[in-house]
Amino acid sequence: MKEYFKLNNNINIPAIGFGTWQTPDGQTAINAIKTAIDAGYKHIDAAAIYKNEKGVGLGIKEANIDRKDLFVTSKVWNEQRGYENTLKAFDNTINDLQLDYLDLYLIHWPAAAHQFENWKQLNNDTWSAMEKLYKDGKIKALGVSNFMEHHLTPLLQHATIKPTVNQIEYHPGYMQQDCVQFCNDNNIQVEGWSPLGRGDVFDNEVLKQLAHKYNKTVAQLSIRWAIQNNVIPLPKSVTPNRIIENFEVSDFNISESDMALINKIDTIANSGLRPDSVSF
C-alpha cells in the first residue's frame, strides 16, 4: 500500500490523515492525538473552526514524534476570508497549535455565488494570502477544501502557485467523481472527508459482505478503498481501539472487481453539505 502520495510541489503527504472534527478540546483531544501518533498516524487534519487546536497542539507536543516526521494541516474558516483576515487567522492557528509552520493550509470552503457577488475576488484574495504564507516558509503546501470545478477554474486562473490538495466529502456511496476527475486532471491531490460517512456507512450490505470476505471491518475496508482510489482518507475517532483499527489497513488488498462493487454503491451517508448552498 502507498504510505505517501506526492503533492504537485514535490512534498510527500502520508496516505492516511487523522480527523479532528467534533473532537472535544482539552484532554480528549490530547489523548486522541497521542493515541493516533502512537498507532502510527503521521498526518493530522485540524481546522480553526473545530475549536480544539489548543488540545491538538498539546497532543502533538506530548506525543513521541519529531515535528519533521509529522504532517499537520489546518484550514482558514469562512468568516476569515480575504487577505488580511487570512494572515491573522493563520497566526491564531499556529499559536493555538504551538507550531512554527504548517505542512498544509487549506481554504475550508469556497466563497460562492449564493452568498457573495464578489465570490471570485474573495477566493483570490484569500489565495494571495496563502501564497504569501507559502513564500514566507510558514506553510509547506497550500490547498483548498470543498471546491468544485466551477470554484477551482477561476482560482487556477488567478493563482501563481497551484493548489496541491482539494479536501472533499468522499466515502463509499458518495464519490463526487466529476470533482475527483477534474482534480486528477489538474494534478491536485484529493483528500476524503468523512471517509466513514460519519458512521453511516456501517450498515451497507455490500460493505458488510466484503469486509467479512477480507476479514476486516467496514471501517477498514472503506479506508483502504479510498487509498486504492488514490484519495487520502481522514478518519476521525476519539476511541482508542477504533483509532488503532482505522490505521490497520496495509495488510490486505481489495481486488479490482471488489473495488468496482464498492464504486457502484448507490448514494449513502451523504452529508448534504454543498458549497453552493451551505449557510455558513
| Rg of the Cα atoms in the chain | 18
Segment contacting ligand NAP (CB under 6 A): 15-23, 116-124, 155-163, 176-184?
Answer: 15-23
Task: Choose, by CB under 6 A, the member of 74, 86, 145, 164 that binds ligand NAP.
Answer: 145
Please report which helix (H) or strand (E) contains residue 6, including its range.
strand 4-6
Burial, 194: exposed, middle or buried (Cβ in 10 Å; 0-12, 13-18, 19+)? buried
Task: Please state the closest distance from residue 19 (CB atom) to ligand NAP, in A.
Answer: 3
Q: Does 52 bind ligand NAP (CB under 6 A)?
A: no
Residue 157 or 280 having the CB closest to ligand NAP: 280
Cβ proximity of 25 and 54 under 8 Å? yes
Q: Does 80 bind ligand NAP (CB under 6 A)?
A: no
Task: Choose, by CB under 6 A, the member of 219, 232, 254, 265 that binds ligand NAP.
Answer: 219
Question: Edge-to-edge strands of the sheet including 189-193?
Answer: 18-19, 43-45, 71-76, 104-107, 142-145, 165-169, 189-193, 232-233
> One symbol per residue from 19 to 38: x for binding ligand NAP (CB under 6 A), - otherwise; what is it?
xxxx----------------
Cβ proximity of 130 and 107 under 8 Å? yes
Q: Does 199 bind ligand NAP (CB under 6 A)?
A: yes
Site residues (CB under 6 A) for ligand NAP? Answer: 19-22, 45, 108, 145-146, 167, 193-199, 217, 219, 234-239, 242, 245-246
